[in-house]
Chain A
Amino acid sequence: MTNSWTDIGNADVVWIMGGNAAEAHPCGFKWVTEAKHNRGAKLMVVDPRFTRSAAVADHYAPIRPGTDIAFLSGVVNYLLSNDKIHKEYVRHYTNAAYLVKEEYGFSDGLFSGYNEEKRNYDRSSWEYQMGADGYAVRDMTLEDPRCVFQLMKKHFTPYTPEMVSRISGTPQDKFLKVCEWVASTANGERAMTIMYALGWTQHSHGAQNIRTAAMIQLLCGNIGVPGGGVNALRGHSNVQGITDVGTLTAAIPGYLALPIDSEPTLESHLAKRTFKPLQANQTSYWQNYRKFYVSFLKSYFGAKATPENQFGYDWLPKLDVAYDCLRMFETMYQGKTNGLICQGFNPLMAIAHKNKSVAGLSKLKFLVSIDPIETDTARFWENHGEFNDVDPAKIQTEVFMLPVTTFAEEDGSLTNSSRCIMWKERAADPYFESKTDSQILADLFVRIRKLYEKDGGKGVEPLLAIDWSYKDPLEPTPDELLKELNGKALVDLKDAEGKVVRAAGQQLASFGEMRDDGSTDGSMWIYTGVYGPGGNLSQRRDNSDPSGLGVYGNWGFSWPANRRVQYNRASADPEGKPWSERKKYMFWNGQRWSGPDVPDYVPTIPPERATGPFIMNPEGVSRLWVRGMMTDGPFPVHYEPFESPVANPLFPKIKGNPAARVFKGDMEVFGDAKDFPIVATTYRLVEHFHYWTKGVHMNAVMQPEFFVEISEQLAKEKGIKHGGWVKVWSHRGSVKGKAVVTKRIKPVKVDGKTVHYIGCPLNFGFIGEAKKASPINSLTPPVGDANAQTPEYKAFLVDIEPISGPVA
């Protein structure tokens, strides 16, 4: 989230699309109801289904699954063609004025540089025109035909209300009402927040969905202001923190990068990432990358990391290819993976194309499940009739289930979706023989290292280089680990005058103190300050809100630097004055930037220096057009899902997202509309959390059984009875469930044709207390977003028929 949960209470318009906050985040959704109650805010929901969020909305608009970009681009077009934008914000805080290279272009649905065979782009033409002074060229009048603003106007022209309706099936009046409410915030007086979740990410064009939303917010001037933002409502309680600490294939904690094969030396890695400013006086904060990287290495390898050995850079594994979870299961399916450790993860339920997952898991030599409750994955080898029809005798995988403590039996910190790091206390003794994750992993690591010390083996040096100097190597404490993440001074740190500013051994107060010479450590720069010289700030529980704007600055610690609203310099105009009294937040008080939050800016830089508010970007401004940073284009384009009921009405020749990766053999598992005429979408129910709570009694009571949501029209066409059984099948598998025939889903008219869609909740499987069901990912296609590889679960093709109940 760019903003915070409580900041949603400052919104004048709340737009929920690509998510269902009332069901997936009920207690965060409270701040929507607060905005409505206290400020008269309007809530609009755009969703294929009339959800429980829609039930309390002021306006609901239906949309065909997978067509969000067409809808959002229609909003962009509306704002631009009706001149409903926050002009000064756009001129000064976005790259609207930047001129783009002449070689860049877009025609027939493709950008310049496309390679059809490789399904990717040569992105070299996706760049700014550079001036002789080494800076990018701008036209502040926004009139040059090559400026981003003019290119954007042209790019979005096709997305008229008629076209949006033709693609998305949304009635024009319902679409236009959304446009009008969005436009009502494009003025600095009112703010709109956008709340989204997996409804936007789980598409082959997921990242571009979110980019389009961000563009709308930038055109309206809604980024960096209270009640604004593009707010990703994340899934698990600590998915933010777990991602922060880098448990992703290509990551190092704090959004640094794992080296790749073409970066043989530390210097070659760093040189590519310390971006030079593209305008005079810009901050370009990633220039500090090397300080963060070296501090990480010092923390990771401890005393063994020295300037002479590039701080241990060679010991880090180098990435040959990114193993996102789809590739992980593809690799497993190819028989190239021997061991899998699942820690609080149930991939059989979570990964696309369940039959492929089972085949992959069956090729493993060993599988370890570290989970408080039994998962479907841990029992993938077990025959559960039609729900998991396997022959255990043929599966040679050794499987372990290790009992681990639940949330209530351990202490430590979590980071919520608002980036706020908060501490929890252990409330009970470990149940049964369970141990904490840290105990289990420490035990495993110590055992493995002992084996290597005793017997030798391959890759001994990097393994033994890892710093493991915990008081008790078998039980590193949360306190020790959070301190390690924060970092400390390794020698007396001095300022330019030679004064000691941080004594050796002291915890660092901020990442601004990190150095690139090995004199500081810290595993994750973005958390620096959480456990500084003042102690563990994640334990702070002062819930006062002096500004009344929902800024709880002394509750926990919000990374980075305890900032609650990101890009908050943009809440003031270029002169440093609030855009309006009504939206006053951070402003220049004559000496420094002040207000209720921590400025997202160097606090003493005066407005006249014209340093942009987006300090992480070398431009100093936000990007309406993203240069070469996205694999599938600097602007979003409406591409149909890979499985679509219609040809792309704008670019009929293009199937799916032309830059999305499709594994060899997987093109064949896609079905087409001839055989599978019905669109399906998957989602969570409020009564359940993913795949856990089917094993939690009370939640199994609340929603006991898998069902399929079907419109009255489709039910009539197919002879499906309310509460009767149906079978749903795709080109990859089938599921059976009860039919919930509802007015909350209605067929849509797409390109002149009636399109039916159905809804499939994802919470049911064959292990737990709820009724057994086939995992919904029996149906889903194994293709991911072109940028993030998030699987396309939200729009795919199936067929459906009524059946008598299952035999099992």
Chain B
Amino acid sequence: MFPPIPNPTAQSATPKFGEKDLIRRSASTVTPPQQRQTEVAKLIDVSKCIGCKACQTACLEWNELSEAVGVNVGVYDNPHDLTPNTWTLMRYTEYENPRSGNLEWLIRKDGCMHCEDPGCLKACPAPGAIVQYSNGIVDFVHENCIGCGYCVKGCPFNIPRISQVDHKAYKCTLCSDRVAVGQGPACQKACPTQAIVFGSKDDMKQWADKRIADLKSRGFDKAGLYDPPGVGGTHVMYVLHHADEPHLYAGLPDTPRISPVVEAWKGVGKYAGMAVIALTAAAGVVHHILQGANRVSETDEENADRLAGGKS
């Protein structure tokens, strides 16, 4: 058993990290701290997951989110996709393994991967709306979010969702408020089989090695760790029985990477952006944003959506 994290208390405690620990901040620069905090990670062992959705309810409960009661559409996935309130979701895949002839029910907890090289943050045009702490957590700061949806486009995992209520982007915070007081995320705490464990990224990799050895002893010779280098590694990692075929798990990207567009924007955006601004239809949007501060109108939504390649 991975040693359980001791219970939280109702005593106040100084947060273990905060603004001084930022290493990235969207559309703005930060002075990185001299010393990086120990990198944390959540390890999701798909081979131990029983698809119970305890992580889903624990996430809703801790983060005080309210999701609507939906319908059944022929699958166990409920809701049917991530939403502004559902930050984590069990995705179920029935897979007939052609090699063994056995049916496998592959169940993957989907949610933010907390990339070391976060595409959402790099795509985000709103200063300080997305931040990355030195421990690896990528968090959204809703006060600064303009709801443009670029983060969705920038994310190689299709995770953030824009609320139709307040027009802001939402996703898993890795329970930064819990991690700040030495707790693990709510999903990890709840997980009945410890398919989710939390700790330093190094410890998680070591624990993953044990799990992978166990899987190999049971005939899953391609078992391995999913910590994709295309995004600089992630702070949410998976142990997969079929690490050679991540896509089997409800379309987990085989080789995720940040879109070259976002990379380009990141590299030259601050300067080149200035140059092209007058040539693009974006000028009006910028103007409006400037005038209206960060109160986003429906027109903003439409414009942003159009710019971001949305449906309008």
Contact = CB atoms under 8 A, between A and B. Distances in A.
A287 interface: no
A26 B194 CA distance: 11
B297 interface: no
B279 interface: no
B79 A22 contact: no
Nearest to A764: B72
Interface stretch (A54-62, A71-79, A609-617): A54-62
B153 interface: no
- Of A34, A60, A687, A737, the most chain B CB neighbours within 10 A belong to A687
Contact of A26 (B54, B69, B107, B210): B54
Nearest to B192: A26
Given A26-B193, A701-B78, A743-B94, A707 B72 contact: yes
A738 B50 contact: no
A742 B74 CA distance: 9
Contacts of B54: 26
Contacts of B1: 34, 37-38
Given A33-B193, A50-B105, A60-B102, A686 B52 contact: yes
B74 to A, nearest CB: 3
B258 interface: no
Contact of B50 (A26, A40, A770): A26
A284 B189 CA distance: 47
Given A698-B61, A744-B105, A771 B52 contact: no
A317 interface: no
A60 B56 CA distance: 27
B192 A770 contact: no
A58 B218 contact: yes
Interface residues of A, number: 47
Interface in A31-52: 33-34, 36-38, 40, 50, 52
Contacts of A33: 48, 193-195
A40 B217 contact: yes
Contacts of A704: 69-72, 78
A774 interface: no
B51 A52 contact: yes
Interface string A716-747: 00000011100000000000011111111000
Contacts of B186: none
B53 to A, nearest CB: 5
A706 B72 CA distance: 8
A686 B78 contact: no
Interface string A671-710: 0000000000000001100000000011111111111000
B52 A22 contact: yes
A38 B194 CA distance: 13
A211 to B, nearest CB: 29
Interface string B195-215: 100000000000000110010
A701 B50 contact: no
A743 B76 CA distance: 13
A56 B73 contact: no
B68 interface: yes
Given A743-B94, A744-B105, A701 B67 contact: yes
Contacts of B96: 743
B248 to A, nearest CB: 14
A144 interface: no
Contacts of B51: 52, 55, 686
A643 to B, nearest CB: 27
B214 A55 contact: no
Contact of B71 (A34, A705, A744): A705
Contacts, number: 123
Contacts of A739: 74
Contact of B74 (A38, A740, A743): A740
A50 B103 contact: yes
Contacts of B104: 55
Given A30-B192, A703-B78, A740-B72, A55 B105 contact: yes
A201 interface: no
- Of A33, A707, A743, A744, the most chain B CB neighbours within 10 A belong to A33
B289 interface: no
A409 B103 CA distance: 45
A58 B56 CA distance: 26
A202 B166 CA distance: 50
Contacts of A799: none
Contact of B69 (A60, A724, A769): A769
B243 interface: no
A38 B57 CA distance: 29
A701 B105 contact: no
B153 to A, nearest CB: 28
B23 interface: no
B74 A741 contact: yes
Nearest to A705: B72
Given A697-B69, A707-B72, A702 B50 contact: no
A501 B28 CA distance: 80
A211 B193 CA distance: 30
Nearest to B57: A698
Interface string B58-72: 001100001111111
Contacts of A26: 50, 52, 54, 192-193
A784 B218 CA distance: 41
B174 to A, nearest CB: 21
B290 interface: no
Nearest to B211: A37
A723 B80 CA distance: 13
Contacts of B278: none
Contacts of B57: 698-699, 702
Contacts of B47: 56
Contacts of A37: 1, 48, 210-211, 214
B49 interface: yes
B91 to A, nearest CB: 13
B75 interface: yes
Contact of A738 (B52, B72, B79, B217): B72
Nearest to B73: A723
A29 interface: yes
A686 B78 CA distance: 13
Given A704-B72, A740-B74, A56 B49 contact: yes
Contacts of A34: 1
A274 B195 CA distance: 50
A21 to B, nearest CB: 9
B47 to A, nearest CB: 7
Contacts of A189: none
A578 B1 CA distance: 27
A686 B53 contact: yes
Given A30-B193, A36-B214, A56 B74 contact: no
A528 B57 CA distance: 39
A698 B52 contact: no
A460 interface: no
A699 B214 CA distance: 33
B192 A53 contact: no
A504 interface: no
A55 B48 CA distance: 9
A248 B96 CA distance: 47
A770 B69 contact: yes
B74 A738 contact: yes
A687 B104 CA distance: 21
24 contacts: A22-B193, A26-B54, A27-B192, A29-B192, A38-B1, A52-B50, A53-B50, A55-B51, A55-B104, A56-B48, A686-B52, A687-B53, A697-B66, A700-B69, A701-B60, A701-B78, A703-B72, A704-B70, A704-B78, A705-B72, A738-B71, A738-B73, A738-B74, A740-B74
Interface of B: 1, 47-54, 56-57, 60-61, 66-76, 78-79, 94, 96, 102-105, 107, 192-195, 210-211, 214, 217-218
Given A37-B210, A52-B107, A702-B57, 8 more contacts: A33-B194, A55-B49, A686-B50, A686-B51, A687-B78, A701-B79, A723-B72, A738-B74
Interface pairs A-B: 9 shortest CB-CB: A723-B74, A26-B192, A55-B105, A705-B72, A22-B50, A738-B72, A722-B74, A33-B193, A743-B94
